[in-house]
Amino acid sequence: MNVSLFVTCLGDQFFADACADAVRLLRHVGAEVSFPLAQTCCGQPAYNSGHRDEALRMMKHTVDVFEDADYVVLPSGSCAGMMRTLYPELAGSSPEDDPTAAETMRNATRELAARTYELSQFLATVVGVQHLGNGLDGQRVAYHHGCHALRELGVSSEPVALLRGAGARVMEWSADQECCGFGGTFSAKLPEVSAAMADHKLDTLPEVDVVTSADGGCLLQLSGRALRRSSDVPFRHLASLLWQGVTGTAESEGRT
Amino acid sequence: MSAREQILASIRAARERRAQVDHPGRFGAWRPEPAPSPLHGFETMFTQAGGEVVHVSSSAQRDTWLREFLSGFDELSLGVGVPAEVAGLGPTPVPHGSEHTAPAGVAVARAAVAETGSLMMDARDGRRAQLLPPILVVLVDATTVHATLADALGAVRADLPAAIGLHSGPSKSADIGQVMVKGVHGPGRVIAVVAQAGLGAYRHASERPSERE
Amino acid sequence: MSGNSSTFRPASYREASARTLRDTPEVRDSVGSATRTFDALRTKAYAEVDSDRWRDWAQDVKAHALTHLDEYLEQVEQSLVANGAHVHWASSADDVHRLLEAIVVEHEVRTVVKAKSMLSEELEVNAHLDTLGVRSVETDLGEYIIQLLGEPPSHIVGPAIHRSLEDCRALFHEELGTPMDADPDELAAAARAALRGDFLAADLGISGGNFVAADTGTIALIENEGNIRLTTSVPRIHVALVGIEKIVPRFEDLAGFLQLTARAATGQPIGLFVSLIQGPRTADEVDGPEEVHVVFVDNGRTALYEDDTAWEALRCVRCGACLNICPVYRQTGGHAYGWTYSGPIGAIIAPGLLGLDRALPLPHASSLCGACVDVCPVRIPIPELLVHWRERTVEEGRNSVGERLAMRSYAELAERPSAFSTAGEALRWTPWRAVGKALPVLSGWMQEREAPTPSPKSFRDLWREGIE
């Protein structure tokens, strides 16, 4: 099984260790992992802020980069969501495209979408993993459901099942499916409301040993706000927590 | 161009660009569970919303209940079409136009709906009598209870008065600090007296000739 | 398009939302609690029925009505006129004001009772009636409360959800003389008594319209208090203000919309009072208005209709479900949005009704979480429409030059992998805490959160070194 890893722009710079853990996880379940060096950004920040032309350019680049991949796996629910659900809609919408080019791009994105997965989605539904190990050893975990993974990908039970299957106790959290307030540039343009949204998440958080999510943006938002509130609850990326489920040791400590 | 022409012209031009969508047909109120019998359904829904239901299976039973209930009031508002023998069971009715002065009232329903727990009130029976008294007794003929709202609307469509009210319980509001209160404008207490089939106790406005008492 | 209403100020959203959070944090509590309650009720009500099928049906009926809207508008006019009602058409708020003035003058109207109508707020009817020396009284309890407070509504369905019981006690004590420790029943009874006199004395009743059935010429109105029934039954004249998008083709369609809207709004099987109004009282009726005027209002709806993406927003049934589930709306309530319609629906219709320039930044006041899509009874693709308006913002050059340049540079880098990774390295080593406050985007982040810690090595570097 050949998997091409798309680490995403945030992943490369802020979650490098978690992405390395994703590589280890994928190899552990028998995948051959490649990392196409030409990868950059899926275009979501441009799309969400209304810069459609820029989004299309980044989409075309990404489609090219992963043209030959059997599977494209991302340690990011929002970027996987962008590629699976929005790329086919965006494709061929650029007015300069001639009809043939537009049709070609539409097919290419549909075809790419069918082989693109968020990491936990891939592990659970393609590989069929249930029990990674016991490395999480009863740790109390709060799982934040990123909006795109939840609504665009329909992924919600998979990460929770994998965490439990790695020994974790995933705790009840009344606000677990509510938006954390990241929303890309929203968090910086309307910081007060964004922070109030993060506050609601943090105010309702149960007593846990770690908070995790499949989305780097969400983790930066929640951990950044938690730190500002002088909270020391640890935040770790899902990939790292699941790898710890295999090994039993936390290789990358700390906030991200 | 008049406002009317401007609006219609705008719409006509834009709809050319749009794929036309067909009407999907009758609303089927699709549910996972089968519906209960109309009478049972009406009672369940109406009482869930805070309404009260009294079943009577003979005119004697109806009269006993009404006489007893209405004896607590010294004035009464009456809707048009409340039969004379029922009107006579209670205290002096207030004149039309003074319904707001009566502590209680009696009105008749044109029909009822099980699905929504609603009483269908026809304007020809008098709107003030249906709305102004704080306590309202509504006479319902059991044979007029429709299973669904779609059925009920279908049944009245050919003979519509100026207004129909669907009253599905006592008046309520949660606008004061999210606390539920009753009887804000409409009646705070509604009692449906459901008469079994065959009583022929009263004829609804749509069946009455146009003379008045 | 609405006239020069200087009272509507979506442009102040950031400042207004920040101020609400900072100065009146109790609003977030009240709004949060009310919206969560409504949403829980809606969830339960949807689960009792095959809600997916109901919503598909409703979406299709509305889409059908909208794609044949001119035909249905002509039909409903005929039906209403045949019922004895007067039909008027208004392109703008000014048209509505002139119509009302004509009625006020002709019938020597001194007092008006109003049923809750968001359209009448949008058209600023009360302010205009004031200038005519007409006393207008809001009869919906929530609207009555905010009228006494001199505030606009905070929510489409519950105008006063931003106000607590304590606020109401203080208000009613001052205005109606109720005791400071009065319980809600006593407060309601006081309002009822005060308003009863107004109902009986009013010359004119003004309502909106939730739906209008084209075949029978029926105006349908939903409520729980009974004030709409009274407003449309007791005064001599009834004026119904109805947006042109409220048309449903068939009387029987109301069966679906009345139930679905109630479930979506408050979790009820139906509103406790529904008015189905055909026209003025007939010869064999003992009461009811002598004249019924129905005003079909555009006020920017045709602008929305002409937009090939945004026209889908016209399916809206004004249930408020999207407000109730919106994590952004929940933080502040409606006032921060600066005009009549707030939350997700407000953000997508504002650019049509007010024009994009006056609607900004509302389409940006969203994290695009998509929760609204889960609940909308007529399946409006709200996030798609928000992005649409953001694209128009960029196309019309209404966002900052800095942002446009930054995004273009970013796209250029994203097409050149080695330049992209070099830039990424540089970004990691930017001293965020020092530089952060200077750059607008970074300063926004830093204002409320600690800066993220970059990874000691990029993934690219780790990969190059070999991952064991």
Please report the ipTM that was assigned to this predicted complex: 0.96
In a domain, A252, yes or no: no
More confident residue, B162 or C143: B162
C positions 339-398 inside 8 Å of A (CB): 361, 364-371, 373-374, 387, 389-394
Multiple choice CATH, B35-199, 3.40.50.10420, 3.30.450.80, 3.40.640.10, 3.40.30.10: 3.40.50.10420
CA nearest to C2, candidates C355, C396, C361, C346: C355
What's the rounded Cα separation, in Å, for the pair B111 and B189?
Answer: 19
> Which chains does B contact via 3+ CB–CB distances below 8 A?
C
Confidence of residue C434 (pLDDT cuts 50, 70, 90): low
Give the residue numbers spanning the domain of A42. Answer: 2-125
For chain B, the distance separating the N- and C-terminal CA atoms, rounded to the nearest angstrom, is 52
What backbone torsions phi and psi does residue B76 show, to the nearest 5 degrees?
-145, 145
Q: What is the pLDDT of residue C163?
A: 87
What's the rounded Cα separation, in Å, for the pair C238 and C109?
Answer: 12
Q: What is the pLDDT of residue B198?
A: 53
CA-to-CA separations, C89 to B203, C167, C295, C298, in angstroms, rounded: 40, 40, 6, 8
Residues A96 and A182 in one domain: no
Parallel, antiparallel, or unpaired for β A71-74 and B118-122?
Answer: unpaired
What's the rounded Cα separation, in Å, for the pair C298 and C1?
Answer: 8
Please state the three-class secondary structure of chain B as a single string.
CCHHHHHHHHHHHHHCCCCCCCCCCCCCCCCCCCCCCHHHHHHHHHHHCCCEEEEECCHHHHHHHHHHHHCCCCCEEECCCCCHHHHCCCCCECCCCCHHHCCCEEEECCEEECCCCEEEEEHHHCHHHHHCCCEEEEEEEHHHEECCHHHHHHHHCCCCCCEEEEECCCCEEEEECCEEEECCCCCCEEEEEEECCCCCCCCCHHHCCCCCC
Residue A83 · residue A55 · CB < 8 Å: no
- Which domain-ending residue is among A83, A101, A125? A125
Confidence of residue C438 (pLDDT cuts 50, 70, 90): low
According to DSSP, residue C297 is labeled E
Give chain B positions within 8 Å (CB) of C138.
none
pLDDT surpasses 80 at A95: no
**pTM of structure:** 0.95
Question: C323 CA to chain A: closest CA distance, Å?
Answer: 14
Question: Average pLDDT of A109-138?
Answer: 96
Instruction: Look at the block and give the residue holding tokens 């109630």.
Output: C262
Minimum Cα–Cα distance from B188: chain C residue: C225
For chain A, the distance separating the N- and C-terminal CA atoms, rounded to the nearest angstrom, is 29
- Tens digit of pLDDT for each residue in B101-123? 999 999 999 999 999 999 999 99
Residue C160 · residue C142 · CB < 8 Å: yes
Minimum Cα–Cα distance from B114: chain C residue: C269
Parallel, antiparallel, or unpaired for β C111-114 and C135-138?
Answer: parallel
What's the rounded Cα separation, in Å, for the pair A216 and A9?
Answer: 10
- Tens digit of pLDDT for each residue in C193-206? 999 999 999 999 99
Mean pLDDT over the full length of chain A: 94
Long-range contact set of residues B33-37: C-beta below 8 Å, sequence gap at least 24: B35/B114, B35/B115, B35/B147, B35/B148, B36/B114, B37/B114
A positions 12-51 inside 8 Å of C (CB): 12-17, 19-20, 23-24, 35, 37-41, 43, 45-51
Residue A183 · residue A214 · CB < 8 Å: no
Residues A117 and A226 in one domain: no
Q: What is the pLDDT of residue C136?
A: 94
Bridge partners (DSSP) listed for residue A3: A33, A71
Asked if the bond preceding C361 is cis, omega within 30° of 0, the reply is: yes
What's the rounded Cα separation, in Å, for the pair C212 and A46?
Answer: 41
Q: What is the pLDDT of residue A99?
A: 84
Residue C252 · residue B153 · CB < 8 Å: yes
Locate the domains of chain B by residue range. Answer: 35-199
> Which residues lie closer than 8 Å to C65 by C-beta, 6 or more apart?
C72, C214, C247, C248, C249
CATH number of the CATH domain containing A199 = 3.40.50.11810
What backbone torsions phi and psi does residue C294 show, to the nearest 5 degrees?
-110, 125
Confidence of residue A251 (pLDDT cuts 50, 70, 90): low
Minimum Cα–Cα distance from C56: chain B residue: B24
Closest in C73, C164, C276 to B177, CB measured: C164
Confidence of residue A252 (pLDDT cuts 50, 70, 90): low
- Tens digit of pLDDT for each residue in C403-414? 999 999 999 999
pLDDT surpasses 60 at B211: no
- Which domain-ending residue is among A104, A125, A146? A125
B2 touches chain C (CB under 8 A): yes
> Which residues lie closer than 8 Å to C122 by C-beta, 6 or more apart?
C2, C93, C299, C339, C340, C341, C353
More confident residue, B180 or A34: A34
pLDDT surpasses 50 at C1: no
What's the rounded Cα separation, in Å, for the pair C369 and A147?
Answer: 5
- 3-state SS, residue C238: strand
CA nearest to C389, candidates C356, C366, C365, C358: C356
Confidence of residue C427 (pLDDT cuts 50, 70, 90): confident
In a domain, A255, yes or no: no
Q: What is the pLDDT of residue A10?
A: 93
**Contact state of C394 with A227 under an 8 Å Cβ cutoff:** no
What's the rounded Cα separation, in Å, for the pair B35 and B53?
Answer: 19
Closest in B127, B165, B184 to C192, CB measured: B184
**Residue among A62, A174, A190 with most chain C CBs within 10 A, to mutate:** A190
Instruction: Look at the block and give the residue holding tokens 């699941």.
Output: A242
Residues A52 and A166 in one domain: no
**Strands, DSSP E only, in C232-319?**
237-243, 247-248, 273-277, 291-297
Question: Average pLDDT of A171-180?
Answer: 98
Closest in A35, A41, A51 to C463, CB measured: A35
Confidence of residue C416 (pLDDT cuts 50, 70, 90): very high
Question: B88 CA to chain C: closest CA distance, Å?
Answer: 21
Instruction: Look at the block and give the residue holding tokens 């969508």.
Output: B21
Quick one: C402 exposed, middle or buried, by C-beta within 10 A (0-12, 13-18, 19+)? Answer: exposed
**Residue among C356, C375, C449 with most chain A CBs within 10 A, to mutate:** C449
Q: Which amino acid does the sequence have at B182?
A: K
B-to-C residue pairs, Cβ atoms closer than 8 angstroms: 276
Quick one: C439 exposed, middle or buried, by C-beta within 10 A (0-12, 13-18, 19+)? Answer: middle
Residue A17 · residue A238 · CB < 8 Å: no
CA nearest to C328, candidates C3, C119, C17, C48: C17
More confident residue, A167 or B175: A167
Q: What is the pLDDT of residue A254?
A: 42
Closest in C28, C368, C459 to A12, CB measured: C459
Residue A144: which H helix or E strand, with range?
Answer: strand A140-144
- Tally the domains of chain A: 2
Confidence of residue B33 (pLDDT cuts 50, 70, 90): confident
Bridge partners (DSSP) listed for residue C238: C205, C292
Question: B90 CA to chain C: closest CA distance, Å?
Answer: 22
Residue A15 · residue A56 · CB < 8 Å: no
B213 touches chain C (CB under 8 A): no
Q: Which amino acid does the sequence have at C400?
A: S
**Residue among C148, C287, C297, C311 with most chain B CBs within 10 A, to mutate:** C287
Tokens standing for A79?
A: 């970027």
Minimum Cα–Cα distance from C142: chain B residue: B175
Q: For residue B41, how far is the Cα from the chain centroid? A: 16
- Lateral strand order in the sheet of B105-108: B52-56, B189-195, B135-141, B105-108, B77-78
pLDDT surpasses 90 at C91: yes
In a domain, A253, yes or no: no
What is the crossing angle of helices C165-176 and C184-201, to 10°? Answer: 50
Q: What is the pLDDT of residue A253?
A: 45
> Which residues lie closer than 8 Å to C143 by C-beta, 6 or more apart?
C114, C116, C153, C159, C160
Range in A5-9, A90-94, A161-165, C62-66 with the lowest mean pLDDT: A90-94
Question: Average pLDDT of A182-196?
Answer: 95
> Which chains does A contact via 3+ CB–CB distances below 8 A?
C
> Which residues lie closer than 8 Å to A228 by C-beta, 6 or more apart?
C448, C449, C450
Residues A54 and A20 in one domain: yes
pLDDT surpasses 70 at A209: yes
Question: Average pLDDT of B189-198?
Answer: 87
> Which residues lie closer than 8 Å to B145 by C-beta, 6 or more apart?
B38, B39, B42, B111, B112, B113, B114, B194
Q: For residue B203, how far is the Cα from the chain centroid? A: 15
pLDDT surpasses 90 at A233: yes
Question: C330 CA to chain B: closest CA distance, Å?
Answer: 16
Residue C257 · residue C317 · CB < 8 Å: yes
B115 touches chain C (CB under 8 A): yes
Parallel, antiparallel, or unpaired for β A235-237 and A210-213?
Answer: parallel
Overall residue count recorded for chain A in this entry: 256
Could you tell me the domains of chain C?
28-301 (3.40.50.10420), 403-465 (no CATH)
**Contact state of C371 with A194 under an 8 Å Cβ cutoff:** no
Establish whether chain B is in contact with chain A, requiring a minimum of 3 CB pairs below 8 angstroms: no
B179 touches chain C (CB under 8 A): yes
Tokens standing for B30?
A: 């699709």
- Which domain-ending residue is among A62, A94, A125? A125
Question: C158 CA to chain B: closest CA distance, Å?
Answer: 7
